[in-house]
């Protein structure tokens, strides 16, 4: 398989050459030890069939995310299976080994960073060095990684600060989108996924949490417990937010009327619709019409 050649400056010597293609960026490779948070480098790598990393330690903190493929990870002596959605971190003093399946090679994003707040940021987001987790859906954090790469490659005066802020957003998003690892509460999480997808597909005609639960063949109390365990909002809040976002978009269209938009969102009473709309966005529906 064709290997991705190193850049002209050779880049950091901790980058693997066992890749078929890669898109990387470099910022300050010798960041100040006094910096609060400094992104060093990052990118996305398409691993070759013989890709293998074995390190006893690493000079920076790092977060890696598997977008495609499968592989194996040994982190602090514990072995894990890598698959789309896997997210793991390591850093100084954390031994790790990464390898790919030859037939379904890994495509993975990474971000390396340092700074006095690095460990705290990872801890708050429950992604301490030496931790493996998973996000759902698998592509949930891809846009943030892609924006990090785009921003890092621009090299503008504000690039370092922008990348630091994007990194903070990334680890918070990982915490929000965290999913149980395979084998842990798998059935309950699969039920939550089914209910969530049902809400996303049918929110316009759904009227209540009880209706959602009934169509998913669940008790509404259990449905609420599933969302409490795996989501950042209740099923009712998600249903209302989906309806109101749709309504806000409809109100921006020429000729839209509040009563018609309310009916399309499942509200027979336009006054009730207006109260709910204002509770979500802070302004009445007519304010959206005025913005057209």
**Res 97: pLDDT:** 96
**pLDDT tens for residues 126-162?**
899 999 998 888 888 999 999 999 999 998 999 999 9
Q: Which residue has the higher pLDDT, 178 or 46?
A: 46
Most confident of the following: 108-122, 185-199, 219-233: 108-122
pLDDT at 91 over 60: yes
pLDDT at 99 over 90: yes
**pLDDT tens for residues 278-290?**
999 999 998 888 6
**Res 16: pLDDT:** 67
Query: Which pair of tokens denotes residue 213?
Result: 């639960």
Is residue 216 exposed (0-12), middle (13-18) or buried (19+ Cβ within 10 Å)? buried
pLDDT at 292 over 90: no
CA distance linking residue 169 with residue 166, whole number of Å: 5
pLDDT at 7 over 70: no
What average pLDDT does range 168-196 have in this prediction? 81
What average pLDDT does range 100-114 have in this prediction? 95
Q: Which residue has the higher pLDDT, 213 or 8?
A: 213
What average pLDDT does range 21-29 have in this prediction? 91
CA distance linking residue 30 with residue 85, whole number of Å: 31
**Res 139: pLDDT:** 83
Q: What percent of the chain stands above pLDDT 90?
A: 69
Beta-carbon count within 10 A of 210 CB: 12
Domains of the chain plus CATH, in order, are 19-179 (2.60.120.280), 186-290 (1.10.10.60)
Strands 107-114 and 38-47 come out as antiparallel
What average pLDDT does range 225-243 have in this prediction? 90
pLDDT at 9 over 60: no
Whole-number Cα distances in Å, 212 to 19, 26, 59, 248: 46, 48, 49, 23
Give the list of residues 6+ apart from residue 92 with CB closer than 8 angstroms, or none: 57, 58, 59, 60, 61, 129
Mean per-residue pLDDT over the chain, rounded: 89
pLDDT at 76 over 50: yes
CA distance linking residue 37 with residue 7, whole number of Å: 26
| Sheet of strand 78-82, all strands in order from the earlier edge strand to the far edge | 52-55, 96-100, 71-75, 78-82
**Comparing 5-19, 68-82, 183-197, which segment has the lowest mean pLDDT?**
5-19
pLDDT at 53 over 80: yes
Is residue 103 exposed (0-12), middle (13-18) or buried (19+ Cβ within 10 Å)? exposed
Of the pLDDT bands very low, low, confident and very high (cuts 50, 70, 90), residue 291 is low
């Amino acid at each position: 398989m064709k290997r991705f050649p190193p850049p002209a400056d050779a880049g950091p010597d901790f980058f693997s050459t066992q890749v078929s293609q890669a898109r990387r960026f470099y910022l300050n490779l010798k960041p100040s030890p006094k910096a609060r948070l400094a992104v060093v480098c990052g990118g996305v790598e398409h691993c070759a069939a013989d890709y293998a990393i074995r390190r006893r330690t690493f000079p920076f903190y790092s977060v890696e995310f598997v977008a495609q493929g499968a592989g194996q990870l040994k982190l602090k002596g514990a072995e894990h299976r890598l698959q789309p959605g896997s997210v793991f971190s390591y850093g100084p003093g954390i031994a790790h080994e990464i390898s790919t399946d030859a037939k379904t090679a890994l495509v993975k994003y990474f971000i390396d960073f340092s700074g006095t707040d690095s460990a705290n940021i990872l801890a708050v987001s429950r992604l301490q060095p030496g931790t493996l987790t998973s996000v759902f859906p698998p592509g949930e954090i891809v846009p943030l990684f892609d924006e990090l790469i785009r921003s890092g490659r621009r090299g503008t005066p504000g690039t370092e600060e922008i990348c630091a802020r994007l990194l903070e957003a990334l680890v918070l998003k990982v915490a929000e989108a965290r999913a149980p690892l395979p084998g842990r509460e798998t059935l309950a999480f699969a039920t939550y996924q089914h209910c969530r997808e049902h809400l996303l597909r049918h929110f316009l005609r759904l009227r209540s949490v009880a209706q959602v639960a009934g169509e998913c063949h669940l008790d509404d109390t259990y449905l609420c417990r599933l969302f409490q365990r795996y989501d950042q909002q209740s099923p009712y809040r998600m249903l209302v937010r989906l309806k109101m976002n749709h309504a806000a978009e409809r109100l921006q269209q020429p000729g839209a009327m509040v009563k018609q938009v309310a009916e399309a969102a499942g509200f027979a009473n336009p006054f009730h619709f207006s109260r709910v709309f204002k509770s979500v966005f802070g302004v009445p529906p007519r304010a959206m019409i005025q913005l057209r």
